[in-house]
Amino acid sequence: MRVNLSIGPFSEEREESIEFYWKDLAKGSLGEGAELHFEQLTFEIKCLDCTGAFYLEDEASMCEFCSNERLQLSKGEDVRLESIEVK
């Protein structure tokens, strides 16, 4: 069995901690012994003024559409279960 997870760069969870707790949580279940596969998600920034969404390539702190500095992280803090593969 393979469990495919996506994890954002600003997630409070880390791959190592998920793997550590998985062993205890899956014990005695169908998931015991499953391989955990992680994919890194990109993060997205949303402008609070023009609502434009974009990905930061560098450490810029302005909206690439309207040059405003009122930005909010809209994607990149999550951990998602993408799929489970059963062999």
What is the helix, strand, coil percentage profile of the chain, to 5? 15, 35, 55
Q: Give 2-85's CATH code, choosing from 3.40.50.10470, 3.60.40.10, 3.30.2320.80, 3.30.70.3290.
A: 3.30.2320.80
Is there a contact between 67 and 49 (Cβ–Cβ < 8 Å)?
A: no
Tens of pLDDT along the chain (87 residues) come to 999 999 998 899 999 999 999 999 999 999 999 999 999 988 889 999 999 999 876 666 889 899 999 999 888 899 999 999 998
What's the Cα-to-Cα distance from 68 to each of 14, 45, 54, rounded to whole Å? 32, 12, 13
List the alpha helices (DSSP H) in 26-76: none
Domain residue ranges in the chain = 2-85
